Structure 1
């Protein structure tokens, strides 16, 4: 008597793994939207809010005043998108355990920014003095932002290896250089708020570019 042989377990395992990686690619596409959304919303607000000056004010200060809820919502949505992107890295098996965790920390820093707003100052909101004493919420805001961007810079270093392994050596080199430029912008923030903004923007946009590059890569079985 002949009995049908069961299908090899390897086929099911391979199909499940492939499905997870495809899901990871979709999640990466959510993550890559975070940077353009945050910067786009910030630029529009900065151009339309009375008293805001890109050379004197940080984008975080847009969460202050009557229309501040728009920037607070921006923080929350972008933090969620970064969290989804971190899950995408995990499912796509990119960056080991460290990469997804570091991007997740970066996402949480945006939620912290929403919960603990920056201090008023440099004439914004309208009527605010040029200089004010730092509040407890302002201190947490600054600390959370610094931790988040340090995590992002570390994530770039971690992601440089899988980029190089996929043959994207120029991208890997750039992932080593970008953190240096980002941190240089932060160090220059004492002299120029615009340098800080440009450094932060570069980090966000490079993360979007890296996630787009990884999402476009063929699924490895």
Structure 2
């Protein structure tokens, strides 16, 4: 059990278990900003990358592809750490049984996205064909990403129900809207649409990382 003890000086301090839990949840606060900043920095500077058309997964190709590969893996590990923190911090119940594992699954999928790189497509990296030839690792990238996205959407809905049951209507609606919006954006990008669908998906990615940070912050404050 997470406890806060009274220090001999009269001040409150966190127990070792609480400090560990909060440290793990802290990764959920920085995972999203880390991923977005690293991805956007590349998207805005790498030759031939069109932010309104190319998915961030394509950044794993080319001589600088190692940056995005590392970005996927490090972000995935931080997300997995946050999921463990959620498992430790959440009260007993259905949400605790499912949500942390679903978010852990999303983190694992990001690691997989780094291991199994997307195929060059739509002229990126510079000189690549406009069409896409799907390789085994490109197919694994798509499958891993799809499973991870569905885990994340389900986690949003599970936590939405949890917050509704505990009387936190704002967090409940935030979670549910985030899950539905991300599912719709993923469906749009999975259909092969270009232009607006790509921009909408980027917006949805920003939304879900903001949501994860808010969830981790909520349980960070509750951990005591």
Give the TM-score taking structure 1 as reference length: 0.86
CA distance in 2, matches of 1:42, 1:13: 36
| Residue 201 of structure 2: aligned partner | 196
CA distance in 1, matches of 2:29, 2:128: 35
| Residue 8 of structure 1: aligned partner | none
Seen in structure 2, the aligned counterparts of structure 1 residues 164 and 23 have a Cα distance that, compared at 3 Å, is farther
| Residue 11 of structure 2: aligned partner | none
Shift of 1:167: 4.7
Q: Which has the higher mean CA deviation after the structures are superposed, 38-47 or 133-142?
A: 133-142
Q: Cα deviation per residue 1:75-107 (whole Å; 9 max; x = unaligned)? A: 111011011101101111353121111111001
| Residue 217 of structure 2: aligned partner | 212
Alpha-carbon RMSD: 2.3
Shift of 1:216: 2.2
Q: Quick check: 2:38–2:71 contact (8 Å CA) kept in 1?
A: yes
CA distance in 1, matches of 2:69, 2:17: 32
Seen in structure 2, the aligned counterparts of structure 1 residues 199 and 14 have a Cα distance that, compared at 3 Å, is closer
- Pair 1:182 & 2:182 matched: yes
Alignment of 1:23-38 (within 5 A): 23-38=20-35
CA distance in 1, matches of 2:52, 2:4: 52
Q: Quick check: 1:21–1:93 contact (8 Å CA) kept in 2?
A: no
- The aligned length equals 208
CA distance in 1, matches of 2:198, 2:2: 52
Greater Rg over alpha carbons, structure: 1
Shift of 1:169: 1.8
Shift of 1:20: 2.9
Q: Quick check: 2:28–2:216 contact (8 Å CA) kept in 1?
A: yes
Seen in structure 2, the aligned counterparts of structure 1 residues 218 and 14 have a Cα distance that, compared at 3 Å, is closer
Seen in structure 2, the aligned counterparts of structure 1 residues 218 and 133 have a Cα distance that, compared at 3 Å, is closer
Q: Which has the higher mean CA deviation after the structures are superposed, 189-198 or 147-156?
A: 189-198
Q: Quick check: 2:121–2:129 contact (8 Å CA) kept in 1?
A: yes
Which residue, 34, 37, 40 being the options, matches 1:40?
37
CA distance in 2, matches of 1:197, 1:91: 31
Shift of 1:148: 0.4
CA distance in 2, matches of 1:41, 1:118: 17
Q: Cα deviation per residue 1:53-93 (whole Å; 9 max; x = unaligned)? A: 11111001111101111111111110110111011011113
Q: Which has the higher mean CA deviation after the structures are superposed, 51-60 or 193-202?
A: 193-202
- Pair 1:139 & 2:106 matched: no
The unaligned stretches of length 5 or more in structure 1 are 1-11
Q: Quick check: 1:46–1:59 contact (8 Å CA) kept in 2?
A: yes
The unaligned stretches of length 5 or more in structure 2 are 6-14
| Residue 54 of structure 2: aligned partner | 57
